[in-house]
């Protein structure tokens, strides 16, 4: 069930968003990206995603589309409101309820809490992290495709992989030209 018009969220996605918002001060970008990380970790640890959300590869990283559409049309939301952030174009998500009707298991709750505590990083970093978790996407934003929830995505969430991907992404053709040694004879190069 997709909340394309912003009227409501799937129950578990609403519960996860409320818990994330209570545990960390979220901006809109974090609110639309963190449910993906919850589902990647839940799929790895519990064998299935939690949120009932649709995670898509948008121009600035993976976005949970139901949350985006809900926040875009949230003027009458019973669970949250948005507040402007001084000197910033993003808005803060303020949760107005204590809890949702749906309940998380203790294991699910620990995953959501972990994501809120450890992965609620700067919005620009979340975009980069989620893109590195989905390297098979060659053109971000041209066609919103389903993001990877599988074991590869979980492994790519590791600090080691993220550092390696950041380093690889920073290498340009100009850098290679300036820092490479010309090879005239392949046999000499491999010997």
Locate the domains of the chain by residue range: 11-190
CA distances from 139 to 54, 105, 147, 157 (A): 19, 37, 13, 20
Q: Whole-angstrom Cα distance, residue 110 to residue 108?
A: 5
63 bridge partner residues: 56
Q: In sequence order, which ranges of 133-172 are alpha helices (DSSP H)?
A: 151-155, 159-170
- pLDDT tens digits, one per residue of 31-59: 999 999 999 999 999 999 999 999 999 99
| Per-residue model confidence (pLDDT) at position 156 | 92
- pLDDT tens digits, one per residue of 99-153: 887 899 999 999 999 999 999 888 789 999 999 999 998 888 877 899 999 999 9
Q: Give this prediction's pTM.
A: 0.84
């Amino acid at each position: 069930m997709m909340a394309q018009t912003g009227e409501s969220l799937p129950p578990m996605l609403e519960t996860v968003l409320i818990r994330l918002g209570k545990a960390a001060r979220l901006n809109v970008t974090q609110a639309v990206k963190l449910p993906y990380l919850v589902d990647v970790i839940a799929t790895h640890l519990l064998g299935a995603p939690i949120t009932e959300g649709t995670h898509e590869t948008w121009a600035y990283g993976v976005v949970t589309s139901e949350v985006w559409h809900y926040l875009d049309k949230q003027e009458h939301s019973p669970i949250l409101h948005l507040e402007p952030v001084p000197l910033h174009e993003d808005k803060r998500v303020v949760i107005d309820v204590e809890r949702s009707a749906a309940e998380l298991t203790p294991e699910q709750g620990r995953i959501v809490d972990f994501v809120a505590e450890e992965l609620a990083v700067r919005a620009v970093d979340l975009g980069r992290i989620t893109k590195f978790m989905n390297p098979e996407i060659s053109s971000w934003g041209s066609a919103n495709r389903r993001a990877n929830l599988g074991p590869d995505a979980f492994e790519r969430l590791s600090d080691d992989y993220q550092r390696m991907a950041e380093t690889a992404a920073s290498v340009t053709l100009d850098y290679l030209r300036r820092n490479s040694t010309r090879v005239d004879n392949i046999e000499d190069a491999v010997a």
